[in-house]
Amino acid sequence: MGKTIIISNRLPVQLEISNGTINAIPSVGGLATGMKSVHSDGDSLWIGWSGLVEEDISEELEPKIDQALAEHGSSKVQLTKEDIDGFYYGFSNRTIWPLFHYFMEYTEFEWDSWESYQAVNQKFADAIVEKADPDDTIWVHDYQLMLVPQLVREQLPDISIGFFLHIPFPSYEIFRTLPWRKEILEGLLGSDLIGFHTYDYERHFLSSVRRLLGLEVSFNDIYYEDRMVEVDSFPMGIDYKKFSETAAKHANRKEEELSELQKRLNLHKNLSPDAKFLLSIDRLDYTKGIAKRLNAFEYFLNKYPQYKEKVRLIILAVPSRSNVPQYQLLKREVDELVGRINGEFATVNWTPIWYFYRSMPFENLIDLYTTCDIAWLTPIRDGMNLVAKEYIATRTDRSGVLILSEMAGSANEMNEALLINPNNFEEIADTLDRAINMPLEEQKSRNAVLQKRLERYNVENWAKDFMGSLTEQGQKEKSYVAR
């Protein structure tokens, strides 16, 4: 049995150079957080972009960069500034990302960026081929690399390849609008196994394969050229132990061990002990519904004025893709909304919204999860949403209420949360009222069920499940070819 090669656009760390020194900064985001724990457990090599463009890497720096990455079990794919503009900010984030999240109005169809996407996918495929041995298993991740499976297959026809999509796969009616729809499907079909978070995404994919390529599909097997490709759903879990154990450790800290953030949170909790803290954590992305959530909060304060000075919304918005115009516009919109709502409702004793536009260290994230009474997550469309799962995992005393959008993949497995439609302000306001007044016993019984489920199907089991299916698929394919 060979090693596993993980491939994703970003590596578990992003490199930065300051004053000639290389700094490795942990990557934030769902894929990175999830796969990091899988990577650290096993014998794997992670291939991806280091965060540095070719233009910034001198001959002298290169071995140091390779060394810094090797310390994280990683190896780089070298990209130029032009690659990043065309492939990452262009095709990946102005075409695929909005289209797959049903934001047709944001979707651009640009030939140049498509060409860049093809060229960069080829670079990733070549980097894999250079490092792979015939008995290795290749696990390709996410929407930036959908051509990679086929490009690797062309050079290594017998190697085992799995692909996992971390975002939704849209319905056929949306997907068919993409000028390069067939190329994307064929790229993915270079895999032996294609995984999605939910059964719905899987169904959408199969429907596109049937209708656009006219291929034979039997249950979840696709007959493609002389191979059989399996498609299945694998809802991604979290590193449950890490979140629950860190939360338990935090609960036992002495006063002097508390973080500055925790001290401030405690101060405000002590000032108004019956106040409720609402929490939302997302990358600043239009799919996450942050602006809508702020409008809904204003609607709630007007509908239920008794909660003025009694609730506080803490928003952690992590900077993301700030080179793409829609993200810049969103940033401005969120800044303005926070300013307007705070200006409208604040009193000398109370600021309704605390807004952080930055990424926080892991320990602070746990402080927020464990201190806030309600997690309020309202994506307009989200492949899974791990924040919802992390919040529940940190509630070691089982208190806390999760309000979650039906449009998040995680809603499928979290029926005990309060599920809402992010476009329905009336329902949201009433659900906030219900969450604020939910008896502790009810919170505990809901969270007990959720925790049990999350603990069982954690990220390790998710990865095992995927890899197990990939191995089985290899056996099945061999018998199919032999027939």
Dist. CA 467–CA 196, nearest whole Å: 14
Going along 333-415, which residue ranges are E strands? Answer: 353-357, 374-377, 401-405
**CB distance 194 to 166 below 8 Å:** no
Residue from the set 27, 359, 431, 473 that interacts with ligand GDG by CB under 6 A = 359
CA geometry: angle 281, 286, 289, nearest 5 deg = 55
Span from 27-35, 186-194, 254-262, 333-341 in contact with ligand GDG (CB under 6 A): 27-35
- Told to check if 385 binds ligand GDG by CB under 6 A, we report yes
Between residues 29 and 42, which has the closer beta carbon with respect to ligand GDG? 29
Span from 24-32, 68-76, 270-278, 335-343 in contact with ligand GDG (CB under 6 A): 24-32
DSSP 148-187: HHHHHHHH-TTSEEEEE--SPPPPHHHHTT-TTHHHHHHH
- Told to check if 380 binds ligand GDG by CB under 6 A, we report no
Dist. CA 374–CA 400, nearest whole Å: 6
Q: Closest approach of Cβ 249 to ligand GDG, in Å?
A: 16
Angle between helices 362-371 and 386-394 (to 10 degrees): 70
Residue from the set 147, 314, 341, 386 that interacts with ligand GDG by CB under 6 A = 386
- Told to check if 402 binds ligand GDG by CB under 6 A, we report no
Please give the residue whose beta carbon sits closest to ligand GDG in the complex.
30
Dist. CA 411–CA 431, nearest whole Å: 16
Q: How many CB atoms sit inside 10 A of residue 333's CB?
A: 14
Q: Which of residues 277-306 bind ligand GDG (CB under 6 A)?
A: 281, 283
Q: Closest approach of Cβ 430 to ligand GDG, in Å?
A: 25
Q: Closest approach of Cβ 197 to ligand GDG, in Å?
A: 7
Q: Closest approach of Cβ 66 to ligand GDG, in Å?
A: 26
- Told to check if 247 binds ligand GDG by CB under 6 A, we report no
- Told to check if 315 binds ligand GDG by CB under 6 A, we report no
Q: Which of residues 29-68 bind ligand GDG (CB under 6 A)?
A: 29-31, 33-34
- Run of H or E residues at 313: strand 311-318
Q: Closest approach of Cβ 133 to ligand GDG, in Å?
A: 28
Distances (CA, A) of 46 to 125, 133, 183, 336, 459: 13, 14, 26, 40, 17
Residue from the set 166, 293, 321, 395 that interacts with ligand GDG by CB under 6 A = 166
**CB distance 334 to 356 below 8 Å:** no
Chain residues in the site for ligand GDG (CB under 6 A): 28-31, 33-34, 166-167, 236, 281, 283, 316, 318, 359-360, 362, 365, 382-387, 390
